[in-house]
């Protein structure tokens, strides 16, 4: 299958690959998976006192589209407030990366990872 | 007329625990009955019907012989099909999956065949454990959520074992 240039760029030069301490009270961790293709995605955010995401990291085991979707998600989340980050939609990710229909679920996985990370952070802070 | 159940095609009762040798033997028997050679002189409609039956038998056999596919099929029979594409949030299990994938990457980098063998045994044990739990709960009322969680785990483990096989082939070359 032909990947778009943007997918290849993120796949070859993934942004923000890494790991944060999940026990850190300022870190939110989203862990999601897609059983049909076996993809596993971890997305983490570090939030400052103003409620702004100052850093984001990810690690994804999966296809190029899944890696690109999560890489792009971390780029877009940095500098955003939690509420802003939660408005990132899979359709926007899919559009930016020009994902073909069979790979749309990779962007859905990234959106679900964002939501899971924000929820984890809010739970830690007693905001939910 | 509705499609016959995959199990019924082989005179089996729907169950997760299956004798795979028996299944294979019955599959070969049934497929022989509809082999194109037997219908070489038959009217076209019959030939077509035999081909359709062979395709149906093959589809049923492929579904039943794979543990995760059989498990998905049983749940579909019982309470409706599960969505193909879905996001699973099963944090502890997914965390372990991620650790195992990291380990597998290291084994690949070190071309550690012995390590791969150990990894494979552990994976097989994990599959066996999830299968045992699934077998015990899939047909119990009130256990649907647990059965769905377990079948998703089986899918991840199955995918991982495919990757282990591919790694072994690469290391063998």
CB contact under 8 A, B85 and A105: yes
**Which chain A residues are within 8 Å of B166, Cβ to Cβ?**
none
Instruction: Please give the residue range of the domain that contains residue B36.
Output: 6-65
Mean pLDDT (chain A, rounded): 94
CATH code, domain carrying B148 = 1.20.1280.20
Nearest to A78 by CA among A48, A120, A121: A48
pLDDT value, residue B2: 53
pLDDT band per the 50, 70, 90 thresholds, residue A128: confident
pLDDT value, residue B172: 84
Angle A64-77/A5-12 helices, nearest 10 degrees?
80
Q: Is residue B40 located within the same domain as residue B97?
A: no
Tokens of B46: 């019959």
Interval B28-49 mean pLDDT? 90
In-domain check, residue B83: no
**What is the rounded distance in angstroms from the CA atom of residue A29 to the CA atom of residue B60?**
41
In-domain check, residue B129: yes
Answer yes or no: is pLDDT of B8 > 60. yes
pLDDT, tens digit (0-9, with 9 covering 90-100), for A30-76 = 999 999 989 999 999 999 999 999 999 999 999 899 999 999 999 99
A59 touches chain B (CB under 8 A): yes
Tokens of B68: 């995760």
Residue A6 Cα distances to A3, A52, A58, B62, angstroms: 8, 27, 18, 37
Answer yes or no: is pLDDT of B83 > 60. yes
Q: Is residue B113 located within the same domain as residue B51?
A: no
CB contact under 8 A, A38 and B160: yes
Which residues of chain B approach chain A closer than 8 Å at the C-beta?
84-91, 94-95, 97-98, 101, 152, 155-156, 158-160, 162-163
Nearest to B87 among A34, A42, A61 (CB): A34
Number of cross-chain residue pairs from A and B with Cβ atoms under 8 Å apart: 57
pLDDT value, residue B173: 77
The HSE-up count of residue B133 (CA atoms within 13 Å, CB side) is: 17
Tokens of B89: 């949030």
In-domain check, residue B18: yes
Total domains, chain B = 2
pLDDT, tens digit (0-9, with 9 covering 90-100), for B99-150 = 999 999 999 999 999 999 999 999 999 999 999 999 999 999 899 999 999 9
**What is the rounded distance in angstroms from the CA atom of residue B81 to the CA atom of residue B146?**
15
Whole-model pTM: value is 0.90
Q: Of the ranges A71-80, B33-42, B51-60, which one carries the lowest mean pLDDT score?
A: B33-42
Q: Is residue B103 located within the same domain as residue B154?
A: yes
Answer yes or no: is pLDDT of B1 > 50. no
In-domain check, residue B73: no
CB contact under 8 A, A34 and B152: no
Would you say the ipTM is above 0.95? no
Contact predicate A79/A53, CB 8 Å? yes
Going from the N-terminus, what domains does chain A have, and what CATH number goes with each? 5-121 (3.90.1010.10)
Cα A25 off chain centre by? 19
pLDDT value, residue B41: 87
Q: Is residue B46 located within the same domain as residue B119?
A: no
Q: Does A106 qualify as catalytic in the annotation?
A: yes
Cα B160 off chain centre by? 13
Quick count: other Cβ atoms within 10 Å of Cβ B140?
A: 10
pLDDT value, residue B141: 87
CATH code, domain carrying B40 = 1.10.287.110
Answer yes or no: is pLDDT of A112 > 80. yes
In-domain check, residue B74: no
Q: Which residues pair with A28 in a beta bridge?
A: A45
pLDDT value, residue A55: 97
- How many residues in total does chain A contain? 128
> What does the longest C-alpha to C-alpha distance in chain A come to?
45
In-domain check, residue B59: yes
**What is the rounded distance in angstroms from the CA atom of residue A22 to the CA atom of residue A19?**
8
In-domain check, residue B144: yes
CB neighbour list of residue B124: distance below 8 Å, 6 or more residues apart: B161
In-domain check, residue B84: no
pLDDT band per the 50, 70, 90 thresholds, residue A1: low
The HSE-up count of residue B63 (CA atoms within 13 Å, CB side) is: 21
Rounded percentage of chain B residues whose pLDDT exceeds 70: 98
Planar angle of CA A57, A61, A65, nearest 5 degrees: 85
Q: Of the ranges A4-18, A64-78, A81-95, which one carries the lowest mean pLDDT score?
A: A4-18
Nearest residue in A to B86, CA atom: A34
CB contact under 8 A, A108 and B94: no
């Amino acid at each position: 299958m032909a990947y778009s240039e943007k997918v290849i760029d993120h796949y070859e030069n993934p942004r923000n690959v890494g790991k944060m301490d999940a026990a850190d009270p300022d870190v939110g961790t989203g862990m999601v998976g897609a059983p049909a293709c076996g993809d596993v995605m971890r997305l983490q955010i570090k939030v400052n006192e103003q409620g702004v995401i100052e850093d984001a990291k990810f690690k994804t085991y999966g296809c190029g589209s899944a890696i690109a979707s999560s890489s792009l998600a971390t780029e877009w989340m940095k500098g955003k407030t939690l509420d802003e980050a939660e408005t990132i939609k899979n359709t926007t990710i899919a559009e930016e990366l020009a994902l073909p229909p069979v790979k749309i679920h990779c962007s859905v996985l990234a959106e679900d990872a964002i939501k899971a990370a924000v929820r984890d952070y809010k739970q830690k802070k007693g905001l939910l | 007329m509705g499609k016959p159940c995959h199990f019924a095609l082989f005179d089996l009762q729907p169950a997760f625990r299956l004798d795979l040798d028996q299944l294979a033997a019955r599959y070969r028997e049934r497929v022989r009955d509809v082999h194109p050679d037997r219908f070489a002189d038959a009217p076209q409609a019959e030939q077509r019907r035999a081909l359709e039956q062979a395709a149906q038998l093959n589809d049923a056999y492929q579904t039943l012989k794979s543990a995760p596919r059989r498990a998905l099929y049983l749940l579909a029979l019982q309470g409706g099909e599960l969505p193909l594409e879905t996001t699973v949030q099963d944090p502890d299990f997914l965390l372990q999956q991620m650790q195992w994938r990291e380990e597998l990457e290291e084994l690949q980098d070190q071309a550690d065949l012995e390590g791969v063998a150990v990894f494979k045994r552990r994976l097989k044990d994990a599959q066996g454990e999830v299968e045992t739990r699934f077998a015990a709960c899939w047909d119990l009322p009130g256990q649907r959520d647990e059965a769905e969680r377990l079948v998703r785990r089986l899918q991840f483990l199955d995918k991982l074992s495919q990757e282990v096989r591919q790694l072994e082939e690469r290391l063998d070359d």
